[in-house]
């Protein structure tokens, strides 16, 4: 793995850079599960540096479990998890976060009884100041600035998701992992959030996003994977995958 810290970035550990076309994040034949129950039966998935990959498929297929492996919350039983070509099996979630692999979990992981600003301040562990975190977040999402002193739990679902993304970005991630951004949100809100995510990908952040509802994320993805019964059964360009999804959902 080649490691480097971008000029002007926050002090902290060296961030991985994938050289020679290696994926920034990769799973090779990964088996994992909960206790004795195996849920992932040999998952292959690659996130090329700077690209946005959509992980699609019906409920229960193993998308969240896959993301939990990618963020170090769930152990790899066999196969390999790689960051920029280096095998990192057994790495802790904390270490992965220090490498710049940052996850917005299903349910967003924000603290409802803290204000917007207080939630953002939780991201200052990586060396950025409270002022920097606030200005980065409020520049990107002016709505959060307007609501900076509001308790997070009293905001709309879309605003809470914005907050979760803003907080993740404050850690200056190399890879941003998003789980079911659309959960419980109105379609227009989801579209606006994905526009923001597309901008992040254009700015060079690699993104892996799991979605049960493909229509919202396919237009901004560079590639997509269909996950069924704990396996990635198909990877391709968004247009090709869109055609195949109907049959996947119907169990074909």
Ligand X SMILES: Nc1ncnc2c1ncn2[C@@H]1O[C@H](COP(=O)(O)OP(=O)(O)O)[C@@H](O)[C@H]1O
63 near ligand X, rule: CB under 6 A: yes
Distance CA 66, CA 69 (A): 5
Nearby residues of 203 by Cβ (< 8 Å), 6 or more positions away:
none
Name the residue nearer to ligand X (CB basis): 80 or 106: 106
Of the listed pieces 53-61, 121-129, 141-149, 242-250, which binds ligand X according to CB under 6 A?
53-61
Q: Tell me the closest approach of the beta carbon of residue 67 to ligand X, in angstroms.
A: 8
Q: Which residues of 51-89 are buried (b: 16+ CB within 10 A; e: fewer)?
A: bbbbbbbbeebbbbbbbbbbbbebebeebebbbbbbebe
Of the listed pieces 58-66, 135-143, 164-172, 197-205, which binds ligand X according to CB under 6 A?
58-66
Selected from 7, 8, 21, 59, the binder of ligand X by CB under 6 A is 59
Selected from 16, 23, 62, 173, the binder of ligand X by CB under 6 A is 62
Where is 80: in which H helix or E strand? strand 78-83
Residue with tokens 């396919």: 218
Selected from 60, 107, 142, 184, the binder of ligand X by CB under 6 A is 60
Q: Tell me the closest approach of the beta carbon of residue 128 to ligand X, in angstroms.
A: 31
Distance CA 84, CA 49 (A): 9
Here the contacts of 183-192 (C-beta below 8 Å, separation 24 or greater) are 183/106, 183/107, 184/157, 185/157, 185/158, 185/161, 186/158, 187/216, 189/156, 189/157, 189/158, 189/161, 190/158, 190/216, 191/216, 192/158
Q: Are strands 25-34 and 37-47 parallel, antiparallel or unpaired?
A: antiparallel
Give residues in contact with Mg ion (CB under 5 A): 63-64
251 near ligand X, rule: CB under 6 A: no
Q: Tell me the closest approach of the beta carbon of residue 172 to ligand X, in angstroms.
A: 27
65 near ligand X, rule: CB under 6 A: yes
Distance CA 47, CA 23 (A): 5
34 near ligand X, rule: CB under 6 A: yes
Interaction partner, residue 149 (Mg ion, ligand X, none; CB < 5-8 Å by kind): none
Q: Are 8 and 75 in contact (CB under 8 A)?
A: no
Q: Tell me the closest approach of the beta carbon of residue 224 to ligand X, in angstroms.
A: 14
Q: Tell me the closest approach of the beta carbon of residue 37 to ligand X, in angstroms.
A: 6
142 near ligand X, rule: CB under 6 A: no
Q: Tell me the closest approach of the beta carbon of residue 39 to ligand X, in angstroms.
A: 4
How many chain residues interact with ligand X (CB under 6 A)? 10
Distance CA 47, CA 223 (A): 9
Q: Are 169 and 137 in contact (CB under 8 A)?
A: yes
Q: Tell me the closest approach of the beta carbon of residue 63 to ligand X, in angstroms.
A: 3
61 near ligand X, rule: CB under 6 A: yes
What are the residues binding ligand X (CB under 6 A)?
Answer: 34, 37, 39, 59-65
């Amino acid at each position: 793995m080649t490691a480097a810290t971008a000029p002007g970035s926050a002090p902290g550990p060296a961030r991985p850079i994938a050289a020679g076309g290696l994926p920034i994040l990769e799973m090779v034949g990964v088996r994992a599960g909960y206790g004795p129950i195996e849920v992932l039966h040999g998952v292959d998935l690659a996130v090329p540096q700077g690209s946005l990959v959509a992980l699609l498929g019906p409920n229960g297929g193993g998308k969240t479990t896959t993301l939990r492996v990618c963020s170090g919350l769930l152990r790899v039983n066999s196969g390999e998890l790689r960051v920029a070509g280096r095998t990192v099996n057994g790495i802790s979630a904390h270490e992965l976060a220090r490498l710049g692999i940052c996850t917005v979990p299903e349910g967003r992981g924000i603290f409802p009884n803290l204000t917007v600003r207080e939630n953002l301040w939780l991201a200052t562990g990586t060396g950025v100041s409270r002022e920097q975190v606030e200005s980065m977040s409020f520049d990107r999402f002016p709505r959060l600035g307007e609501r900076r002193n509001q308790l997070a739990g009293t905001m709309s679902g879309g605003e809470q998701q914005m907050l979760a993304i803003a907080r993740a970005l404050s850690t200056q991630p190399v890879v941003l992992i998003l789980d079911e951004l659309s959960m419980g949100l109105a379609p227009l809100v989801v579209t606006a959030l994905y526009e923001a995510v597309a901008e992040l990908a254009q700015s060079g952040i690699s993104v892996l996003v799991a979605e049960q509802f493909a229509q919202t994320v396919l237009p901004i993805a560079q590639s997509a994977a269909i996950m069924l019964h704990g396996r990635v059964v198909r990877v391709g360009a968004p247009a090709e995958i869109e055609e195949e999804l109907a049959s996947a959902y119907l169990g074909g």
